[in-house]
Structure 1
Amino acid sequence: MRGRLRRAYESGRVSARADRAGSGKPSGESDVASPSAPGPASSGAGAAPSPAAEPPFAPHPSIISQDDADVPHALRIAAAWSWRLIAIGIVAWALLRIIGTVRIVIIPLAIALLLSALLAPAVGWLLKARFPRSLATGVVLVGGLAAVVGTLTLVVNEFIDGLPQLSDKASQGVRQIQTWLKTGPLHVSDNQLNHYIDEVQTWISGNSRTVTTSALSATATLAEVLTGVVLVLFATFFFLRDGNKIWRFLVRLLPVAARWKVDDAGRASWATLGAYVRATVLVAFIDAVGIGIFLVIFHIPFAFPLAALVFLGAFIPIVGAALSGVVAVLVALVDSGPVTALIILGAVIAVQQVEGHVLQPLIMGRAVAIHPLAVIIGIAAAVILAGIAGAVVAVPLIAVLNTAVRRLAARTVPDTPPDAVVVASQAP
């Protein structure tokens, strides 16, 4: 008890000195406790001398105990960042696990959003022509589906018609390679060639189980693809017809103070997504036409299927059109030789340069401007997580998130109350 009283007394002395310093009292006044000063600690005969008082503790506002004060400031900051980053990483890992589990639903919904952004202007035109909303949505969806099915039918028919000729030329190319291996600088003998062929056959036989497993996996994937196609059609229809209602319902779930911010970010993100999809379609069409013209000029087989492949590949920025162009170069190599293949390669490179330096900046503009490094990282991560479908939706997802984060972080004041913004929302 005496020790506690002594500490309380010393604390009072420290407060008194601080008050005197604040009031401008002369510093010459003694701040040392007088031996004869009365106090609880000095009462009683034979009182032991009190221990020296500890230095006053003046903590930082973020420090809640003496133990925290003994830890260096830099270490405390590093620890605070560390546990917060760990928490964010755990949440991100959980979200990725959830997305991976239900990817058969999430990926079709993402593709449906892309198709809705592409077809929404056509639905708007029909609505201005006083079509009922359901009828306008059905007409646009059926028309788009018919265009896709018709294009795929033409591609498959042309591929079937030209496959025998290309197979013969491929066989000739293989024989030419065998002749070059024999007569060229490698001087490979017939026995060595037969040995290599036998090794390939042995490998195929030994991995037949793997091939069978891959076939079963392909069957399962085909079932998932069919399920995804049905889900895409239904989701696209309802996004086009009831997108505004769905969006207003989601916004009303939020607190009133946050509605106008989220509504503004959602509408801006939807505009970005629409601009991205329409610009990508236009750029892909120009790429396909440019490469297709060279294929027709040099009489390369499968000109239309290869142009369609370039069109589809352009939906994967930077790498998609280049990979599809490599397929065109290989077909030209098999069909017409190395000189024509080099010419087609030059055409593919030229089209890619025009796309990267003229079409992308001119058509897409600032609304969806994303750094190429972010595009490459996003595509790589999406391919690992969701395959080709992930690569297709990766870049538009990055563009939408970029716009949404910028709008949410902007410090603007709404022109109308949050409820009025929600009611008047035109976002999907």
Structure 2
Amino acid sequence: MSRFEALRGRLRRAYESGRDSARAGRVDPDHAPGEAGVASPSSPGPVAPAAATVVGVEPPAVMHATTTSRDDVEVPHALRIAGAWSWRLIVVGIVTWALLKIIGTISIVIIPLAVALLLSALLAPAVGWLLHARLPRSLATGVVMVAGLVAVIGTLTLVVNEFIQGVPELSEKSSQGVRQIQDWLKTGPLHLSDSQLNRYIDEAQGWINGNTSKFTSGALSTAATLAEVLTGTVLVLFATFFFLRDGNRIWRFLVRLLPVKARWKVDDAGRASWATLGAYVRATVLVAFIDAVGIGIFLVIFHVPFAFPLAALVFLGAFIPIVGATLSGVVAVLVALVDSGPVTALIILGAVIGVQQVEGHVLQPLIMGRAVAIHPLAVIIGIAAGVVLAGIAGALVAVPLIAVLNTAVRRLAARTVPDTPPDAVVVASQAP
């Protein structure tokens, strides 16, 4: 009986094994080509080989990994790439245009904040020195702000006093210069007659009288401009104070608004950009001071009036690289021409050109360094764009903005992992 039961068990196992193999063959999608499947509810009919072609049915379209329809497959690859770039550039252009419109609308706020950032970058080392001397942060910031205001007000007072004292003498010499020009027009190569000179003078006076309304409207708008200047000045003072006192906390607050994975990268780029801005501003101040001293020495040697105001003008103009000091130097040349004649004017012009050459080939590379080195073409384009968008203030802010963006983009594009911030708290995970 036991042998019979053992034989029966082996037969049942062989039957079940064969049945499972048959079922697996009917539902296996990877069966050999040319084998027809057995009809079942899950496989209703013979399965055609993978390479078989069904008559009357269009073969499926070959799809590219980057396409979603047959139309995209038929479009040339170069045209698809160009189209993808085009719509993305259009979106970037629209966003940039919107940002420029917003900045133009609130320029009365943006420009003072930009100037406050420049002043903060210039005065931050002084605040740091006072902090190392164990002064409270608010007191150190206040001392630096007061000292800066005293220096600016004192300089402006000296410039205004010297200008007021020299205006009568300069106006008299200007009249003499105008008469000399009239005599040259009569006796020079043009040989103009008195009637022609009078006609030209009458035309100039008629043009001035015809545009009196424009001058009046401009004078009326000057009151609004003066109010904007006063408002901007107050905003610059307050923003500079808080940037110097709470700049680090403000930056950390802004960084915390970003996703966690982007915080360290943005923090690293922001601090590198701030270092670049500080280096740029301090180097620009030093270069401007050297330009003003160099041109001012020649003005004093040749007894050109307004030597100190003209040197101060050169100092301010040097904050606009390449073109600022040159334009302010032209004013000094014109004053020398009116006061001392063409020979002195040519000497002052040579001094201005020489100082500019020393600045461009010695001072800029030596003082600025490679950290804030910008190609001259980028400088010219940035200044032109700044003048178009925001006038003189735009020209003043354009170059430091380019320097900061240059550093920020380079740090963000770098593949290196930024260093751990000094105030970061690293929490070790517990062992399982």
Question: For the superposition of Structure 1 and Structure 2, which TM-score range results when normalised by the shorter chain?
Answer: 0.7 to 0.9
Give the whole-Å Cα distance in 2 for the aligned partners of 1:329 and 1:297. Answer: 14
Contact 2:141–2:244 (8 Å) recurs in 1? yes
The residue aligned with 2:222 is 218
- Alignment deviations for residues 261-314 of structure 1 (CA, whole Å, 9 cap, x no partner): 111011101100000000000000000000001111111111000000000000
Give the whole-Å Cα distance in 2 for the aligned partners of 1:395 and 1:265. Answer: 18
Q: Secondary structure at the match of 2:371?
A: coil
Q: Secondary structure at the match of 2:321?
A: coil
Q: Secondary structure at the match of 1:214?
A: helix
Offset, 1:128: 1.0
The residue aligned with 2:145 is 141
Contact 1:122–1:140 (8 Å) recurs in 2? yes
Offset, 1:367: 0.7
**1:326-345 correspondence to structure 2 within 5 Å:** 326-345=330-349
Structure 1 position 234 matched with structure 2 position 266: no
- Alignment deviations for residues 313-361 of structure 1 (CA, whole Å, 9 cap, x no partner): 0000000000000001111111111111111111101100000000000
Offset, 1:414: 3.9
Q: Secondary structure at the match of 2:171?
A: helix
Contact 1:256–1:418 (8 Å) recurs in 2? no
The residue aligned with 1:66 is 70
- 1:165 corresponds, among 159, 165, 169, to 169
Larger RCO of the pair (alpha carbons < 8 Å, separation 6+): 1
The residue aligned with 2:91 is 87
Offset, 1:54: 3.2
- 1:266 corresponds, among 242, 267, 270, to 270
Give the whole-Å Cα distance in 1 for the aligned partners of 2:420 and 2:132. Answer: 27
The residue aligned with 1:187 is 191
**1:342-353 correspondence to structure 2 within 5 Å:** 342-353=346-357
Give the whole-Å Cα distance in 2 for the aligned partners of 1:122 and 1:304. Answer: 27
Contact 2:173–2:339 (8 Å) recurs in 1? yes
Give the whole-Å Cα distance in 1 for the aligned partners of 2:217 and 2:418. Answer: 58
Report how many residues are paired.
Answer: 385
The residue aligned with 2:20 is none
The residue aligned with 1:47 is none
Q: Secondary structure at the match of 2:116?
A: helix
Give the whole-Å Cα distance in 1 for the aligned partners of 2:244 and 2:419. Answer: 28
- Alignment deviations for residues 98-135 of structure 1 (CA, whole Å, 9 cap, x no partner): 00000000000000000001001111111111111111
Unaligned runs of 5+ in 2: 1-28, 35-43, 47-53, 427-432
Give the letter for the 2:267 counterpart. D
Give the whole-Å Cα distance in 2 for the aligned partners of 1:90 and 1:160. Answer: 51
Give the letter for the 2:280 counterpart. Y
Give the whole-Å Cα distance in 2 for the aligned partners of 1:122 and 1:152. Answer: 22
Give the whole-Å Cα distance in 2 for the aligned partners of 1:409 and 1:419. Answer: 24
Offset, 1:413: 2.0
Segment of structure 1 superposing worse, 250-259 or 56-65? 56-65
Contact 1:260–1:418 (8 Å) recurs in 2? no
What's the TM-score, normalizing by structure 2?
0.85
- Alignment deviations for residues 11-42 of structure 1 (CA, whole Å, 9 cap, x no partner): xxxxx9xx89xx9x8xxx9xxxxxxxx979xx
Give the whole-Å Cα distance in 2 for the aligned partners of 1:383 and 1:160. Answer: 30
- Alignment deviations for residues 221-253 of structure 1 (CA, whole Å, 9 cap, x no partner): 111111000000000000011111111111111
- 1:309 corresponds, among 303, 310, 313, to 313
Offset, 1:419: 7.7
Structure 1 position 118 matched with structure 2 position 117: no
What's the TM-score, normalizing by structure 1?
0.86
The residue aligned with 1:359 is 363
Q: Secondary structure at the match of 1:182?
A: helix
Structure 1 position 198 matched with structure 2 position 205: no
Give the whole-Å Cα distance in 1 for the aligned partners of 2:411 and 2:195. Answer: 69
Structure 1 position 396 matched with structure 2 position 400: yes
For the aligned residue pairs, the C-alpha RMSD in angstroms reads 2.3
Give the whole-Å Cα distance in 2 for the aligned partners of 1:419 and 1:159. Answer: 53
Give the letter for the 1:163 counterpart. V
Give the letter for the 1:71 counterpart. V
Identity over aligned pairs, percent = 84
Give the whole-Å Cα distance in 1 for the aligned partners of 2:424 and 2:183. Answer: 78
With over 3 angstroms needed to count, the CA separation of the structure-2 counterparts of 1:120 and 1:421, relative to structure 1, is farther
The residue aligned with 1:298 is 302
With over 3 angstroms needed to count, the CA separation of the structure-2 counterparts of 1:59 and 1:338, relative to structure 1, is same
Give the whole-Å Cα distance in 1 for the aligned partners of 2:271 and 2:327. Answer: 34
Q: Secondary structure at the match of 1:420?
A: coil
Give the whole-Å Cα distance in 1 for the aligned partners of 2:266 and 2:297. Answer: 46
Q: Secondary structure at the match of 2:372?
A: coil
The residue aligned with 1:104 is 108
- 2:389 corresponds, among 385, 388, 391, to 385
Give the whole-Å Cα distance in 2 for the aligned partners of 1:138 and 1:89. Answer: 43
Give the whole-Å Cα distance in 2 for the aligned partners of 1:203 and 1:286. Answer: 42
